[in-house]
Structure 1
């Protein structure tokens, strides 16, 4: 039974290396098949080690009163990069615009932190070069919590 037009929220519980603590995050997903517990993630996660477009298995948890992530079934091929702004003289939206021009959508969490998606078909090398340059100049610190195989270097 396919239910492609409905959106749901899925709860992720995990230890965040960025926050250095156990945390929760909810992500929007499109229902692929609710009977089988299959959902396609619709947004870029701030902390969870998954990517937009991944197909995940989730089950309803009575104690949480919502769907809870169990495992990733099919990786989308997209990668998720976390970026922390170190140099407060830079405006985070300017950095987001820079990476958007390279083909990467992003979501801002606050004035010092955003996440971006590297689409599966995009060459990661020029993006990674820019990330490394910014990090070497102590403008940012970045992490690759969910780097797809096609973006490995």
Structure 2
């Protein structure tokens, strides 16, 4: 859960997001279950944590779900709208880089979750963050072999920051 959720009484539920076969093999799971909260619309929910494996979804995004009677759970049906948040994943390749990544994210006021291996980080990049700066710093660490990165879901505002950099 994102830091802004701490201490609130929002009721959260889990929704299954089925993973493509190549990702499911790597994740060792057929689905990733994300926390969501209900909205005023039937079967529409707001994502309340940052995914480790699901692509195209970020913290705060609105998605539609459908019941799966056979599995006895709600499953992702379709994307509705973005929240302005982006999802970036980092794989730590050099343990000495953990402090660098931690300091970078704290300095930009991003939040993140770390998987049980402590090597895979799911980073939430809020709308107000200068994504261009964060991305350049992560790409630098990547080029030095310290981390691997994947942009899981980049919000339109953050994409426009990248396009500005690419066209300069």
TM-score interval w.r.t. the shorter chain? 0.7 to 0.9
Deviation of the 1:45 alpha carbon? 0.7
- Equivalenced residue count is 148
Q: Structure 1 residue 84 and structure 2 residue 91: aligned?
A: yes
Go from structure 1 to structure 2 and tell me whether the alpha carbon gap of 1:143 and 1:41 turns closer, same or farther (over 3 Å shift): same
Tell whether the 8 Å contact from 2:24 to 2:30 is kept in structure 1 after alignment.
Answer: no
Query: What is the alpha-carbon distance in structure 2 between the residues aligned to residue 103 and residue 5 of structure 1?
Result: 23
Tell whether the 8 Å contact from 2:27 to 2:53 is kept in structure 1 after alignment.
Answer: no
Task: Return the structure number with greater helix share.
Answer: 2
Q: Structure 1 residue 51 and structure 2 residue 58: aligned?
A: yes
Deviation of the 1:69 alpha carbon? 0.4
RMSD of equivalent CA atoms:
2.2
Task: Return the structure number with greater strand share.
Answer: 1
User: Where do 5+ consecutive residues of structure 1 fail to align?
Assistant: none
Which residue, 143, 149, 153 being the options, matches 1:142? 149
User: Where do 5+ consecutive residues of structure 2 fail to align?
Assistant: 1-8, 163-168
Secondary structure in structure 1 of the residue aligned to 2:59: coil
Deviation of the 1:95 alpha carbon? 2.0
Go from structure 1 to structure 2 and tell me whether the alpha carbon gap of 1:30 and 1:20 turns closer, same or farther (over 3 Å shift): closer
